Structure 1
């Protein structure tokens, strides 16, 4: 089996603001040459958020598809993308940075002589689009000289003209920057008044306006929104020079600005209140600052074996690293070995149909459909409709994550829709969908778990971690850790990190809370590939319990 590869060439030019607005002035005086817009309209306040007319996108896509076919492509797809990014960062009483970026252009991927070729352009006149398509075909034919096996694409019907939008209530890009800055500074003020020494925070917002078209007859228009608020609190101890930090317990989400408007009905009561789907930054800052005082006074954890109760704010990262990455098929096949590593979940384990990845209550699904998740889309970046499938079923490895040109390796009749590119100028390749631990079927709350634990630790929030190149041996810590003795939480400890190998850890999973506790965490900037690309992905789970896991003490020592 030969690993497929893409040799890409971009014919992009320096990005100018007029290029971003090149096609947004529909009906305001734009002229047309050969059916294509050739003049930017005046920049009018508010038009930056106006999407490009779908009819124009289709005409541009058809130029590329026709040019590719005329040069010998047996398949071609086009991704026309407009990407808006905004980030705001503050520290204590001042704004540190506000950055807004826009990118607009087209990527063309083709199959010719059984091999892939790709080219991209930010010049969207007919001639430039056609040249990009022709260049992609030329690259594919050159690649074919070196490829011993032709690409095999899973069948995919064309969907015609369809659209999908993230179901947002409030577009974050339409919220005045002043309002966003005021929220972040208000959070800082809460922290400083409550006794924090330092606080910094960030708000990231992304809008992907993506149009996909293929020679199979799909014309797919999508409008995707994501955002992530976060902060870091620090409190110093002047007496001994020590300090403690606490990061936010927020999750990055596929939502609009409504994520930052908390709903009291969503509160989950526990050691401290957490919202199920939305986020109260001011309350998290207030609680977090109080917890810093606890952390400064907390005793270091005693190393040893503990039953672990892991909140979704902690467990999502362990899922990402020990389940999400090792079930990526390209990693399993060694395609990512040079950069991201390989996987211990080799094909022979899947073929055996009996590899016990976890205990019988452990079930993982891959999906790109859950509302509010980072991975939620209508269609992936090669025009496959989003769906869901089992990866781990009753503890057994039953599947991986695959794209159209990987599906035949697993004997699949269709792709699982795991294709993504970070921008129009990057070639799409296999990226992780949402990978989630399914909730327990019987009614169970975290409080019930605590009552049934003699010696344990209850962990919240992501912190430092380490995992090997095959995603097998790992170590994870948390933002907050509480000791449990004889069914009761007795206080906070610090420096706790749990160590295990992936199979041992998931086979120690003894209980999972029910659907009412199910929440999502996620990675907003997950890197992979050469050249490197980032993607965003969520991992849902309910609080879960793991028996007899090794815990070490990583506390800082002074002097």
Structure 2
């Protein structure tokens, strides 16, 4: 079959062969169905049926989430299309408190009768759970908002763009990589639309339309004489934007350090440009000097630092993890309530970390969370000191507070909502500083861009991070690519070594489309913003050397 014929048939719902770990679930549908919105008036009638049934069965509180989760995923390799999938998942979940205990039930029978039955089942589950509940659930007060709506402020719905145009873009990126030294290249485009309707006995009826997009690729260069090969992943960030993210704008580009050719991207991304550079860098990696272990000053690009923020601060300040509720899934946290009382510095005085569910373009941006709380921004670390955690309605009283932070989320209608990470970001520096300004004061250092393998212990304390591309810094200047770099530290030691942060003009978002948590496990999407940041005297190891 010719490629253009293949693309023309994708509206029939071609296949469901996702790459490992990237499946969104649901059923395949015609591409045209991805543009059909839910009816808010109908949702309100069905939600009221669930709320009324819950109260009649003995619930003191109830909320209902009616969700339609849409996705389109496109995969290409070299000059071929591998797969295109249009997916849909539609149903409703009802959560209640009865006899002081949570109960939850979900259904794909999205009718008034179906939701009423789910509500009755949720109450029965809550009453059964109450027999072993030690303390009653305490919810922070929450006013009802009445009928409100929120939508991701996109310019172009990515689902409205012809599949052919998106396939052609991925194949053009692949061609750019092949023309610049790559032997293999694969690319993908993930698009998500969450149409969510929330209602509760507090009096809220919230209609939200959430969009996310993620273009990505991986290139491999091979030296056939030696048998060596190296890879380079895309330096894109998944974003809470529409298809406008894939229409490059010169104003959104930020030059990396002189001598690297790197480009940083803000609200638009040039996948062809990045694929071209990615192939060149992958080829250069093969002959790059292997790093000498030792202490280095690290200059970390936002596309790299976001992952370190995510693991060592984002997860470490989730209150349920702090309290030990997440011990069986990726551990707890060293930053306990008792640790916080000791007033130990989490980082240097220039480290200011903010949680923000309202940040435009971020993956976590919504108007209201999945228990009907209006989202906000709040401080996590201020001048190096831990000042707050991330918490939801049934956790606030534990730390003596009377309101949720609005960071409750469920990955789908059939999963119960719980505390998830907000966008956690490092505030930019207050003094004007470019990346070159930062580097000129580094005598012996390494510049790192992009994500790599990492490891962190069960208390979010001791860790090791790699990266995608590395450049040696010698006497204030970039001195060429190096390889086999990873740095080791503990969370306090690392953040206390933070010595300089570039200003707002360098600020960019990193993102994770599939952040895992919970049992049964769920994924969520979250962003982390920062400017390029310097850390002094960090221990660097050589990952290629045998111990």
**Post-superposition CA distance 1:352-392 (Å, at most 9, x none):** 3x220000000101110010000000000000001011101
Distance 2:321 2:38 in 1: 37
- Relative distance call for 1:101 and 1:115 in structure 2 (3 A) is same
Aligned residues, how many?
Answer: 518
Among 74, 79, 87, the residue aligned to 1:101: 87
Q: What's the offset of the Cα at 1:16?
A: 7.1
- Is 1:509 the counterpart of 2:498? The answer is yes
Measure the CA separation in 2 of the matches of 1:505 and 1:259.
33
- Specify the alignment match of 1:136 in structure 2: 122
Q: Deviations over 1:160-215 (max 9, x none)?
A: 00000000011111111111111111111111122210001111110000000000
2:157 to 151, 167, 171: 171
Is 1:434–2:423 an aligned residue pair? yes
Does the 8 A contact of 1:262 with 1:275 survive in 2?
A: no
Partner of 2:246: 260
Question: What's the RMSD between the two structures over aligned residues?
Answer: 1.4
Q: How does 1:43-82 map to 2 (within 5 A)?
A: 46=32, 48-82=34-68
1:401-550 aligned within 5 A: 401-550=390-539
| Unaligned 5+ runs, structure 2 | 1-24
CA distances 1:91-140 after superposition (whole Å, capped 9, x unpaired) = 11111111111011110000000000000111122222111000000000
Kindly report which structure 2 residues correspond to 1:88-487, keeping only aligned pairs within 5 A, or say none.
88-270=74-256, 271=260, 272-352=262-342, 354-487=343-476
Which whole-Å CA distance do the structure 1 matches of 2:252 and 2:322 have between them? Answer: 39
For residues 507 and 58 of structure 2, the distance between their equivalents in structure 1, rounded to whole angstroms, comes to 50
SS in structure 2 of the partner of residue 302 of structure 1: coil
Q: 1:349–1:397: 8 Å Cα contact kept in structure 2?
A: no
* Post-superposition offset of 1:266: 1.8
Cα distance, 1:298 vs. partner? 0.6
Q: Is the 8 A contact 2:34 2:159 kept in 1?
A: no
Aligned-partner SS, 1:530: coil
Distance apart, 1:274 and its partner CA: 2.2
Q: What is aligned with 1:38?
A: none
Name the CA distance, whole Å, in 2 between partners of 1:442 and 1:264. Answer: 25
Task: Tell me how far apart the structure 2 counterparts of residues 127 and 53 of structure 1 sit (CA, whole Å).
Answer: 17
Which one is further off, 287-296 or 270-279? 270-279
- Following superposition, the deviation at residue 48 of structure 1 comes to 4.2
- Could you list the runs of 5+ residues in structure 1 that have no partner in the other structure? 1-13, 21-42
Check whether the contact 1:298–1:492 (CA below 8 A) recurs between aligned residues: yes
Alignment check: 8 A CA contact 1:202 1:231 kept: yes
Q: Which moved more, 1:118-127 or 1:390-399?
A: 118-127
Q: Deviations over 1:427-460 (max 9, x none)?
A: 0000000000011111111111111010000000
Sort the Cα spacing of 1:48 and 1:282 in 2 relative to 1 into closer, same or farther, 3 A: closer
